[in-house]
Structure 1
Amino acid sequence: MFFDRPKSGELSILVHIDIYEERGTSDPREFEELALSAGADPVAMLTGARSTPTARYFVGTGKLDELKALVQEHEAELVIFNHTLRPSQERNLEAVLQCRVLDRTSLILDIFAQRARTHEGKLQVELAQLQHVATRLIRGWTHLERQKGGIGMRGPGETQLETDRRLLRERIKSIQARLEKVRKQRDQGRRSRTRADIPVVSLVGYTNAGKSTLFNAITHADVYAENQLFATLDPTMRRVELDDVGAVILADTVGFISRLPHKLVEAFRATLEEAASADLLLHIIDAADAERLRNIDEVQKVLEEIGASEIPQLLVYNKIDLLSDMEPRLDRNDQGIPVAVWLSAQKKEGLALLEQAISELVGTNMCHGRVYLAPTMGSLRARFHRANAVLNEQYLDDGRCELELRLPEIDFSRILAAESATPELTGWLPISA
């Protein structure tokens, strides 16, 4: 579109160079999974180590010769680097290798472009792509020249590069304006949930940790869930009823990854704000992943970046069915507060423990006791039933209705205020959920 580049294909050479400053921040196996998720067909991986990248080609001349030989041997159509390349490095590599070159950011953007389903998700991906490509424009042709003197020599006054930049800026501004409307709509939805005092629980975690599978198991939804990186891009929210809590909004969010491109964090800020405004974060962890400790650290970095690091978290160790002799369990701290749940979303084992932990963490200030309603308080009785707060019900000889209730204290107060009623109470006590 902007300059002549070699055509891209699926036969790919992967390049992972262990840079001293980045050592330990990226896993070559994860890089290969990213390439496979994008639809690439890796035929070879070139590895090496350097203290610092070179300015011209990122790799040294020796590795460049090796890479060129691999491209020719396998007739590869694409070379993917597990690093962030400068635009000049991409162009220099393509000139030498005579095939398309992508860096880690471009690869992740391509995966996001494939996975986005909703209008909002597509806008977010397009914004990130445009912001990325804006730094990679070069003058690809010269049929639009600057104005020159002389008859027949007067051009339109701007080069093709300037035209491309102007069109990009206009499109980026247009998308940002539309995403701002989406952000305001989300804010309005969050304010409505706040007024209704419905707790929001967001699922966060490293990509492919099993968030969507767990989401489906709890909510009985049919969110797309596959064993691949970034299977979920578009946020999904469902209302579920939990014992001792009542209604809870559960939100499934996009997975995180090490060195997540900053452009994606910015573009998906409207989506990630769902996590930043939650009452509780379920940090889903692949218990069978050897890199789970590193993955936990990477998730914490992104949570800090979006301002969600101070929100209470419950660690959820998923996929225990892949571990030997591991049973579902609930871990508590010294104060008896739930801190971690071990379960298998695929086998639906340990879900009751998770719901118990969520109820304890978000269902505080519960009340339990009996109320006695006069025959004229039928609408108040109906409200208690709609709130799923009635444990037992019976009618007394004097016509009164005896209800045994358990519900959040704030809901009880709101219901009484709405009905302007003062029923008789017995044994009414605040309790811990």
Structure 2
Amino acid sequence: MTTTVPVGNLSWTLFVNTQNFKGPVAFSIPDLWAELSKEYSAIEGLGLDNQPLMLGDSGTMEFGWTRALKQQDNKGDTYYKVPQIQYPMNSDGQSTIMQDLTIYSKDALFHKFSHWQQSDQVSPTQFDANGMRKPMLSHTFNSLHIDDMYTSAFYDIATPTIFDDNSFGLQWHAPPENGMGLYPKYFKQQGNALLAIKENQVPSETNLINEELPAPSRNPEAYEVDSAGQELFTDYASGPYTATLNDCSKVTYYWYKFTDQPSIKKYNLTADEKYKLQTMVEKMHTHWKSTDEYLAPPSKGNLVSFDDNLIVTPPEGLEVGYVPIVVKQELACDLPEQIDLPWPVEDKVDTSPIKKPILTEPLPQKSNGGVMSIWFLAMLMVIRNLMLEKIGSTKVSGTKKKSF
């Protein structure tokens, strides 16, 4: 259709494949992309509502900014301490990071789904193998920087590798500790580069070994709809409801008719557009189940499960055509002093101050995605935007991203 700018018909949808939930979870409606071109005419008609995603047969893993400690010894040499980065390692000294990379064309599901919109022939849930391709992988490992200084430490302990089964990961040169491959925690500055060192090479007067990095807040601020966005949340059908999650937080949510949910309401669709969209969603809720097969099973390993409390049951009468939308997430119980990990952790050391290391100055982070929690059956672009408002301006510091 065409409003003040053309709007295409592509909705980019997140499908998941877990032990306890399978299928579509959330999607970006076409208007989201078209809205960008209203402010920047050069991209009119070129958004992902119109154009295919040119992935380049690649996947990416990045670490954003994280805190680090630095301190000088009595000789004036500078030392750093970063958080412990670790990867599960198998018996062959390998850590698999990405497997089964698959590229999907419109033949995989889009065409069948489009036909379903115009007829009563239900689209199958399973993606068609004729519209799928698994490319042969290669890798490019970008350099790692800490506090804007280069370090070769990663290469010294592990090699980014394409394994025989066309999966990507790390081949470690060092033995595991408690089943984990460990990235160095301590570094010494040498010119404009950092050299990884062992704990026993850290001068005692820096107190880096004893000093712990700042822990996350034990009383985090609640995420909730702000006053500017509340008018979009008024047309709910039922609620509020709450669910307490395994991470010790409580979410508050309401049930909305699909086309009345805030992320769709903001675009002021016509009555006819709403009818067509609502009709299609009701078909999906009637014929597609969260136990159906959509994505192919993994070639190795086991599927994970989501917190069962994220999977909610609609109220009577709202089973078809309605979705739960979260409006608030807050701390619900006392956080444990220590989280029980599936592997041993180092003992707490004496933190008596000798010389206080300096927490590296906060550096700004540009956010183009932020953090999104997945609330099943809901199309939660709304909670994502709420979190971006708070997270996008947060300043964190220290270790630059590394990218595969």
TM-score by length of 1: 0.21
More helix per residue: 1
Q: Compare CA radii of gyration and give the structure with the larger one.
A: 1
Return the structure number with greater relative CO, CA threshold 8 A, min gap 6.
2
